[in-house]
Structure 1
Amino acid sequence: MNQTIPLAFTGDLLCRQPPRGIDVDTTLAHFAIITCLVDPELVRPQIHPRFHLDLIEHEGREWALLSVVPFVDQDFRFVNVPWLKWRFGQTNYRVYVTDSETGEHVAWFIGTSLDSWTVSIPHYLWKLPWHRARIRFDCSFDADAQCYSTYRMQTSNSWADAEVELTDTGQPPTELTGFDDLETGLVILTHPRKGFYYRRDGRIGSYAIWHDRLQTTVGHVKTARFKLLERLGMVKAGEAPPIHSVLIQNQTEFTIYLPPRIVDRGRK
């Protein structure tokens, strides 16, 4: 990997800044991180030069890591008006990168699909690359076995149609391919607290989140079709991407610190 210092879930990394104002608290359900192996040369054009790809070695070559992250916002609510709540499906597309200015491991968001009229707020007001979609989950969680017996997600009528079917082992991960140790891999893949992206006006935007350390189980892909990756030339049409890992959590709490901010002039 293009970093040699082991990473750990330190107190600073897990510390929660109390939300206020228009910050958001939300409970996420059916949270999955489906990480794909992608040719670095194909993903670099999507990312501002300020950010360096986090790369791993696998089967004699270097790969970038791009995760498709579907989930259901169960009770999306602004902390200053907690009685107003929204429920909707969402899917994020993120690449793991290092910020050359700070040295932080962060996520670069290519975009988000969101199944709610409320997508118009971040789309138009803050110019986030968020897009309206129809997202349907068909999930059954076995509380006794602490794993999913069924996990299906389909996104349609979107800039990024997708179809996913996963199996769930119910077991925590013991290793992650390409990482020197498990905790480093989990920090990279499950705990980027800052996200950067190209705004719809071409400038760079950023927002921050908080969640506790995830307690994921290992999943496997039965079906994974992502039209966005096909359109960007990262996967051949009709083919599934090579999968690095699947991590699943039934439920977790997130805080989103708003509003997002503009951090750079953008594309160069």
Structure 2
Amino acid sequence: MNKIETLAFSDGLLSRKPPTGIDVDTTLAHFAIITCLVNPDAVRQQIHPRFHLDLIKVDGREWALLSVVPFVDQDFRFSKISWPKWRFGQTNYRIYVTDSETGAHVAWFIGTSLDSWTVSVPRHLWKLPWHRANIQFDCEFDTSAKRYTTYRMQTTNSWADAHVELTDTGNPPTELKGFDNLESGLVLLTHPRMGYYFRRDGKLGSYAIWHDRLQTTVGNVLTARFDLLDRLGIVERGKIFNVHSVLIQNRTEFTIYLPPRIVESPAL
């Protein structure tokens, strides 16, 4: 267990290491962080014992936090080369944890759905838990109101079929329940720069990203179905998952530092 201390957007957290080699830049569109409160016992078995679940208290009980993060990579490209570029939909499933060896708050990735043949590179070369899928976005963004009038995403033919429809208030968040202050919640939910996961060969892997501080608006879930959460027993089949928050951003820039690495600590 790990109760969350006060967190802040420090210069170190926001600083960008210059990309080199095969590092990648990409513009993400329709970026949403749909976070639910989950029973810690239901997700603890998904993570490596090196990591502790980040827990918050809501309605008198402790919860772990899991986010479904859909978006469209608009122009996935090598940082040092402007061409070629790829465009594809993607959805990440991540749990918020603390690394017991470094004390850093990081994301634990259960896996990723990706709508592109290029998924074969991270899947087979680097053994990432990435899976081919058909992902469709139906989104309309009102630039004058700075909010989505339509936001729908559907994933089919995947290890993690999903359907979600969101509304967008157009207003920035003013609080996040369970956190002592808004900034602590935003740092934890929107700004994990390191990700860890079980590789497809069972080893512990990690990779690093960078992005600027997000300028999100508050959304709400109209409908949602995430088959993976049902299958893993994280959400009881047939029940609505317990929404903590929905944060949406129309566009943002990411840098992904590659290749991912194998962590020496063994997976158990």
What TM-score comes out, normalization by structure 2 length?
0.98
| Aligned twin of 1:44 | 44
CA distance in 1, matches of 2:36, 2:236: 14
CA–CA distance in 1 between the matches of 2:247 and 2:163?
17
Task: List aligned pairs for 1:164-243, cutoff 5 A.
Answer: 164-243=164-243
Matched, 1:161 2:161: yes
Query: Which amino acid counterpart does residue 119 of structure 1 have in structure 2?
Result: V
Aligned match of 1:67: 67
Contact preservation (8 Å) 2:4, 2:54: no
Query: Residue type of the partner of 2:134?
Result: R
Q: CA RMSD in A?
A: 1.0
Cα drift, residue 4 of structure 1: 5.2
* Match of residue 14 from structure 1: 14
Partner in structure 1 of residue 88 of structure 2: 88
1:50 Cα offset (Å): 0.3
Give distance in 2, aligned partners of 1:14 and 1:181.
19
Q: 1:4 to 1:166 in 2, by over 3 A?
A: closer
Range with bigger deviation, 136-145 or 228-237: 228-237
Of residues 185-194 and 235-244 in structure 1, the stretch that sits farther from structure 2 once superposed is: 235-244
TM-superposed deviation, 1:265? 4.8
1:225·1:239 contact (CA, 8 Å) conserved in 2? no
Q: What corresponds to 1:129 in structure 2?
A: 129
Unaligned runs of 5+ in 1: none
Q: Deviations over 1:166-194 (max 9, x none)?
A: 00000000000100000000000000000
How far apart are the structure 2 equivalents of 1:145 and 1:5? 35
Q: Percent identity between the aligned chains?
A: 76
Partners of 1:238 and 1:106 in 2: CA distance: 30
Q: Give ranges in structure 2 of 5+ residues lacking alignment.
A: none
Residue type of the partner of 2:133? A
Q: Return the alpha-carbon distance in structure 2 between the equivalents of residues 140 and 4 of structure 1.
A: 36
Matched, 1:267 2:247: no
* Residue 54 of structure 1, CA deviation: 0.3
TM-score (norm 1): 0.98
Task: Give the aligned residue type for 2:219.
Answer: G
Residue 106 of structure 2 corresponds to 106
**How far 1:80 moved relative to its partner?**
2.9
